[in-house]
Amino acid sequence: MFQQKTTSEGTNPPVVFYNLSDLLGCPIRYENDPRPFAHLYDIGGSTLTPYPLSNSLEVSPRKGGERCFIPWSSVIVFTRREIVIRKSSELAPASDFWARRDVLDDQVVDVSGAQVLRVNDVNLIYSDNNLIFGHVEVGLRGILRRLRFERPAAFLMQWLFDYTIKDSFVTWKHLQILSPGGIPGGVRVNNLTERLADIHPAELADILEELGVKDRQVLFNSLPVETAAEALEEVTPEFQRTLVSHGEPGRVADILEEMPPDEAAEVLRDLGPDAQGFINQMENTAAAEVQTLLSHREESAGGVMDHNCITASPDDTVASILEKIPELTKDVQVYNLIFVVDETRTLKGVLSLRELFRADPAATLASITTKELITVTPDTRLKDVAREFAKYGFQAIPVVDENMILQGLVRYDNVLSHLAEFLKD
Amino acid sequence: MNRLKNWKAHLALFAMVVGPGIITANVDNDAGGIATYSVAGAKFGYSLLWVLFPTCFLLVLVQEMCSRMGVVTGKGLSALIRERFGLGVSFYLMLALFFTNLGNVVADFAGLAASSEIFGLHRMWAVPVGAFLLWHMVIKGSYKTIERVFFIACVFYVAYLISGFLAEPDWKTAAYQSVVPTNVWTSDSFYMIVGIVGTTIAPWMQFYQQASVVEKGIPLKHYRYSQWDTIAGAIVVTIVCYFIVLACAATLNKAGITIETAGDAANALRPVAGKYCAGLFAFGLMSASLFGAAILPISTATSICEAMGWERGVNRKFTEAPHYYSLYTVVLFAGAIIALSVSQKMLVPIMIFSQVINGILLPVVIFFMLRITSDRSIMGPYVNSKWFNLVAWSGAVITASISIIMVVMTLLQ
């Protein structure tokens, strides 16, 4: 151990940069045999560190036949010309990804720019007998180099237009690989998804829409449930359908629970008869809410209504409600309307937060609430709901049944998103 | 009642999925295709009608693989080739595709020029205006509106059906010759057969159909309807070809008139078949040329950008996808300019050049397609079955050898 250290310091190994495309096909030999026995086919990496280290090589034998794996620990010399290894009985460790199969020429996500890119080359750094994955090249220069046009093209562009063809890299720290699993039974360590959590859901949705079926599913499955729910809300209905129908039912149910019930109902409505399978897996209250939404016609108030709203009793005082505001507004989307209901949930009045702030703290809600109520029933058609919104300018309208029992509320944005479909472009 | 309901549900799902197959197959009947079928009818009468049926089968075989790859992977053909076979191969494939597609666009603008002159519109007006309208439609439009326009364009092919009827063909002989192959082994007719197969199955079609299947986002569950779409497209295209051959066989062949282009055919039809038949024929040629000139540049830009990893898609803005729109613009306007500026004599070597690349490209593309569709790690359970592979490989070998023969014969001429 000690000896090894002194020799490595003694020779002072230089830091060398390699392009994966130059390394592939490189001859490999044993230390005591001058004839190469195989060619380099692929390099496997382990994602335990932010910049992954190579832990094994996949090689194709010269004489043909099955490709085999060599642990990185047995590599002695690593250059573009040749790779020398020592004979060892050690098995190659499982790799989290393979540079050629999963990265080179494939699509990856650049987390910092929130975009999908195709990899033209992989840059590796060899230092202190470690091979480190540094960045991937995504620009024109990488394409030109691999096609062996780099020099003439760069010269021509410089000479003709005084234009320098730029390199463009994505550092490995900002990279999300999409192909799953390493070959020798490796389970993918996914410490990358936390990088994705920083991307805005709308951008994540764009990324998902741009990918192929498998890559999309890999990415979607690797997202934390909350992020997945936000992204699912943002993608177009066609993609919602495919993402959900290819997903594992238990996980999909968790994601749907995370979404606002009306959004979840919308996703499930598009699934047709398959929806029931997911509803059965959902937690009871969420399932029941979605179920009621689905039981109403899509174009009616009942089909889009939101069950979560702030309710209060007519006997509550203004002060007592104001005190509880942080807690009351926790799980609701419409936080500035308070519905005054009696013990049978019969709607008695509606109060806005502003009215509450201005009122005498000692007054009861019954004394200050508006008596004239604008309501709709679950069967009211969305067109008519929209007219009510246009007329009164509310943010939300309560939904009640024929006995004035509060069912939930319709938000104006629910109605808007339905009407938007009918807008002419 | 239940059956009726089922039938309605199937139809509704089919309507959601239909498009890529039918549109691709119809664009296949562009100016170059119509020229080939017209010459076949004029020169050989009804005797080559039978060729259309095996060609239809080969077309379904090849195109079905594309839409399957599209539905299963959600990626275009050029992306799959890049991922499976690397950058070098994809680059040279795309280079070849660029030139052969450009050749097709030139042929389409030449067809537009010829057909508009039949209607008394000068080519110096018709071609630039046509090119600009197409360009504007794509730059401003979205995929959905464009697909709708293309769908309507498909209807114009009915013109050929009517002109086929107006030509009053000898139905009995036609029916007989559709089933019984005669005079196959003269070198002339063999060249024609090769030409028919070669123009009916062209490399851009595979790239285009797969790309539009992906763009449509057809779910795996509805793949069956995508198959119907492919088959329906191939049948429609075969019917249209059939009637073109029929119209030319019944009139030009009978009168002993020889022609070289589709424009010739429309002109020559007037004295022998009447002005309605000729007018419809020219109208069909015009819409087919416009249709081809609209789709081929889109297809070229999409395939190349996908292989190279550049932003693409009609739904993006110019600044978001500069490579895509530059390629599209270059192919479209270069095609129009070449068609306008080059004399009829010079056009022939350009067409031959494009056909030769076409012929070399097709076997390569089909080979890659078979490799990909047989790869379980890509296709999963939708990998080719043993029997399908047997049929597909033999079909591919036939198509490939035909296109290679075509290249050799073109070069020898």
The enclosing domain of B192 has a CATH number of 1.20.1740.10
Assess whether pLDDT exceeds 80 at residue A2.
no
The enclosing domain of A367 has a CATH number of 3.10.580.10
The enclosing domain of A259 has a CATH number of 1.25.60.10
**CB of A151 closer than 8 Å to CB of A172:** no
A37 at interface of B, judged by CB pairs closer than 8 A: no
pLDDT in tens, A296-316: 777 788 878 887 888 888 888
Residue A48's pLDDT is what? 77
Residues A337 and A287 in one domain: no
Residues A131 and A79 in one domain: no
Query: Which residues in chain B have Cβ-Cβ distances shorter than 8 Å to A147?
Result: 87-88, 91
Residue A304 within a domain: no
Confidence of residue B304 (pLDDT cuts 50, 70, 90): very high
Confidence of residue B331 (pLDDT cuts 50, 70, 90): very high
Residues with Cβ within 8 Å of A283's Cβ and at least 6 positions away in sequence, in order, are A253, A257
pLDDT in tens, B216-237: 777 777 888 888 889 988 998 8
Q: Is the pTM of this model over 0.80?
A: no
Residue B10 within a domain: no
Overall number of domains in chain A: 4
Max alpha carbon distance in chain B (Å)? 63
pLDDT in tens, A366-412: 888 877 888 888 888 888 888 888 888 788 889 888 888 888 888 88
* Helix runs in B18-76, H state only: 20-28, 31-44, 52-73
Overall number of domains in chain B: 1
Assess whether pLDDT exceeds 90 at residue B98.
yes
Among A118, A154, A148, smallest CA distance to A136 is for A118
| Nearest-Cα residue of chain B relative to residue A104 | B83
B43 at interface of A, judged by CB pairs closer than 8 A: no
Say what the alpha-carbon torsion angle A142, A146, A149, A153 is, to the nearest 10 degrees.
0
Most confident listed range (A25-39, A140-154, B273-287, B350-364): A25-39
pLDDT in tens, A312-367: 888 888 888 888 888 888 778 888 888 888 888 888 888 888 888 888 888 888 88
% of chain B at pLDDT higher than 90? 6
Hey, is A125 helix, strand or coil?
strand
Residue A182 within a domain: no
Residue B271 within a domain: yes
Confidence of residue B184 (pLDDT cuts 50, 70, 90): low
> Considering only residues 106 to 145 of chain A, which have any Cβ-Cβ distance to chain B shorter than 8 Å?
106-107, 117-120, 138, 143
Residue B92 within a domain: yes
Residue A305 within a domain: no
**CB of A415 closer than 8 Å to CB of A392:** no
Residue A422's pLDDT is what? 67
The domain of A206 spans 200-295
Hey, is B304 helix, strand or coil?
helix
Residues A73 and A156 in one domain: no
Q: End of a domain among A146, A177, A208?
A: A177
Is ipTM over 0.90?
no
Residue B267 within a domain: yes
| Alpha-carbon span A257 to A158, nearest angstrom | 57
Distances A338 to A56, A88, A152, A281, B403 between C-alpha atoms, Å: 63, 74, 72, 32, 75
- Buried-state track A213-244, b at ≥16 Cβ within 10 A, e below 16: bbbbbbbbbbbeeebbbbbbbbbeeebbbbbb
DSSP per-residue letters across B229-290: HHHHHHHHHHHHHHHHHHHHIIIIIHHT---SSHHHHHHHHHHHH-HHHHHHHHHHHHHHHH
Assess whether pLDDT exceeds 50 at residue A8.
no
pLDDT in tens, A182-198: 333 333 434 455 566 67
Pick the more confident residue, B16 or A135.
Answer: A135
| Alpha-carbon span B123 to B135, nearest angstrom | 18
Q: End of a domain among A78, A97, A116?
A: A97
Residue A50 within a domain: yes
Residue A194's pLDDT is what? 57
The enclosing domain of A48 has a CATH number of 2.30.30.240
Mean pLDDT score of chain B: 81
The domain of B295 spans 18-412
| Alpha-carbon span B41 to B388, nearest angstrom | 33
B74 at interface of A, judged by CB pairs closer than 8 A: yes
Query: Which residues in chain A have Cβ-Cβ distances shorter than 8 Å to B83?
Result: 105-106
Mean pLDDT score of chain A: 80
* Cα of A246 vs its chain's centroid, Å: 15
| Alpha-carbon span B53 to B273, nearest angstrom | 26
Pick the more confident residue, A310 or B149.
Answer: A310
Confidence of residue B94 (pLDDT cuts 50, 70, 90): very high
A46 DSSP β-pair partners: A53
Residue A301 within a domain: no
Assess whether pLDDT exceeds 80 at residue B389.
yes
Residue B179 within a domain: yes
Residues A58 and A122 in one domain: no
Residue A69 within a domain: yes
- Burial zone of B411 (CB within 10 Å; 0-12 exposed, 13-18 middle, 19+ buried): exposed
Residues A112 and A15 in one domain: no
Residues A172 and A204 in one domain: no
Residues A410 and A315 in one domain: yes
Nearest beta carbon to residue A239 from set B73, B217, B309: B217
Residue B87 within a domain: yes
Residue A185 within a domain: no
| Alpha-carbon span B124 to B122, nearest angstrom | 5
Our separate counts of H helices and E strands in chain A read 19, 19
Residue B4 within a domain: no
Residues A29 and A69 in one domain: yes
| Alpha-carbon span B246 to B242, nearest angstrom | 6
**Lowest mean pLDDT, pick from A86-100, A380-394, B153-167:** B153-167
**Lowest mean pLDDT, pick from A282-286, A303-307, B2-6:** B2-6
Residue A191 within a domain: no
Q: End of a domain among A72, A97, A122?
A: A97
Query: Which residues in chain A have Cβ-Cβ distances shorter than 8 Å to B86?
Result: 105
pLDDT in tens, B54-90: 889 888 988 999 999 988 888 889 988 998 888 888 9
